[in-house]
Structure 1
Amino acid sequence: MDKPLVSAVITTHNRLQLLPRALDSVVVQSYDNIELIVVDDGSHQSALPIVEPYYDAISLHYIRNEAPMGACKARNQGIEEASGDFIAGLDDDDAWTEDRIEKLIEAYSDEYAFVTSDVRMMYKKGVPVWQKPEVITLEDLLYTNYVGNQGLIKKERIQAVGGFDESLDAAQDYDLWIRLAEEYGPIRNVQEPLQEVYLQHGGERISNPRDQLRGYLKFYQKHKDKMNKRQRKYQLYNIRKATGKVTGFTDLVGWVPPHRYWKEAKSWLAEKLFTT
């Protein structure tokens, strides 16, 4: 059977010095039917001089917005431009392992909404692996974003649920995962780190903290009617954490459901260990 075309979609905004790492990780994929879509969302300097050398290595489409349209608009632009059966997103400051797309395609099944993988978290002080459940259900997602920021998804499915919500300033990927899980069922996770997420690199962030908080609150309002009491409480805990109001273990008590307490405690400890 012919290999389906996969469209790798990278959006970038004022992080041009980090972009080559992401581009390189797409070009070296072991899966050999990939096109690359790069959306330059109004960077101060055009990304074209960085992108141009890659035209010889891969089928590439470059889109530039002269003024920033926002992360969601840029992602939707890239998806609309894509010719692939599948969309595989990649943030401009992150990277794939060489076999990521090959292994995600092998794991894909229409009985799942989409497929994702474990992740290496690239801190300056260490590289822990974020190990996710093998199957991520809608119930899981209503507690927290177990998927992270990327997956391999059929283009027609993304478009059928409306793409990324351009009214949100944060949690845009999380919002899409919930809508896909509602429509198409649970998400499959390849329990192997096939993506590297770089943190603490000092590059410009796409959203500032105030935008992120406002966006997360809007996300919460959008989906809270689907949540039970425990899920709502845990979401509010995450909002408290984002605003710096969670400072230690004692803050977990009363906010985190008992069956998730130790997972959250381990996550909190790991973050402190690798960032302080």
Structure 2
Amino acid sequence: MSAHPTVTAVITTYDRTEFLGDAVRSVLMQSIRTTEVIVVDDASPTDPAPVLTEFEDRVRLIRLDANSGANAARNAGVRAASGEWVAFLDDDDIWRPDKTEEQFAAMSDGDEAALCGLEQIDGKSPQICPVARVTEAHLRGGNPFCGMSGLIARRDVLLQEPLDETLPNGQDWDIYIRLARRRPLAYAAAPLFARRYGSHSGITLSAQSESVEALEKRTRVIEKHRDWLGETHYRRRLASYLLKYIGKRKNPVRFVLHAMRRAGASATVRHLARKALRRPEFTWPQGHNPL
């Protein structure tokens, strides 16, 4: 890592102009100067340009011609970036002023990426994991770490490993797996960005009302990594996805029977038992390199 790394912040946005200004300001307030800020608008019906006028030439706006999804917007930002490093930020999240500084401090020579802890803007408990490095073993049980607003990675690596634009969900887990298979990711165990929980509640409510057929589309990321996961972890992750929000489903029996057919009885019963006993879905593997 160079003594003075250059960083491009890529902020993806879609029709949330009420939050976008706060996101940009959090980048411009970084203790390590961000080389450039690129806002990539995923063809919003509302032009975000008026919100960005206060930042003048400190922010570059790219508008996609058609709505293509968050990963397409992120890839466009990576291609346009000039920094050695690219750090992502969703338009409704906010970086803490020392976010990039703390992530660089957590890295060793040769590292290609880093993640960090997070907190909720509404004041809920921070989400911090007890690791110094994120390995493949940590990710086989899912992604307990953070969303894309916590990722910083070398631009050349992101060009080699572009974000998967075909996935409807699980994009963060997918890229973390692919990065960890190259080299473990550094982890800054502090809440370095704030997530606006309320703006995600609509997504959660929508997911709760999904049909079995619609839910199947969300398992694409698990199918993609089936060989890497191994059959046991594959079936457990599949059961977890298919039984998500099972307590709030209108026809839970149908979802349970579908999970048994797809993931097997053992993985399905295991997941239901853990939920009944209120045990956490994610457990740290032995020898997980705690702090």
Q: Output the CA distance in 2 between the equivalents of 1:214 and 1:46.
A: 34
Q: For residue 232 of structure 1, what is the amino acid of its counterpart? A: Y
Q: Is the 8 A contact 2:28 2:34 kept in 1?
A: no
CA RMSD of aligned residues (A): 3.0
Change (3 A) 1:204 1:47: farther
Change (3 A) 1:177 1:230: same
Change (3 A) 1:246 1:157: farther
Change (3 A) 1:215 1:24: farther
Superposed counterparts of 1:114-129, under 5 Å: 114-123=113-122, 126-129=123-126
Superposed counterparts of 1:102-121, under 5 Å: 102-121=101-120
CA offset at residue 253 of structure 1? 6.2
Q: For residue 154 of structure 1, what is the amino acid of its counterpart? A: R
1:181 match: 180
Q: Output the CA distance in 2 between the equivalents of 1:86 and 1:256.
A: 42
2:144 match: 146
Q: Of the two, which has the highest radius of gyration?
A: 2
CA offset at residue 173 of structure 1? 1.9
Q: Output the CA distance in 1 between the equivalents of 2:96 and 2:178.
A: 27
What SS does the aligned partner of 1:220 have?
Answer: helix
Change (3 A) 1:256 1:152: farther
Aligned length in residues: 254
Q: Output the CA distance in 1 between the equivalents of 2:114 and 2:10.
A: 16
For normalisation by structure 2, the TM-score amounts to 0.78
For normalisation by structure 1, the TM-score amounts to 0.82
CA offset at residue 252 of structure 1? 8.9
Q: Output the CA distance in 2 between the equivalents of 1:257 and 1:189.
A: 31
Change (3 A) 1:140 1:203: closer
Q: Is the 8 A contact 2:215 2:242 kept in 1?
A: no
CA offset at residue 68 of structure 1? 1.0
The percent identity for this pair of structures is 28
Change (3 A) 1:215 1:34: farther
What SS does the aligned partner of 1:228 have?
Answer: helix
Greater helix proportion: 2
1:254 match: 270
Q: Output the CA distance in 2 between the equivalents of 1:212 and 1:92.
A: 26
Q: Is the 8 A contact 1:169 1:214 kept in 2?
A: no
Q: Output the CA distance in 2 between the equivalents of 1:110 and 1:212.
A: 44
What SS does the aligned partner of 1:235 have?
Answer: helix
1:273 match: none
For structure 1, list consecutive stretches of 5 or more residues without a partner in the other structure: 267-276
2:30 match: 29
Change (3 A) 1:265 1:166: closer
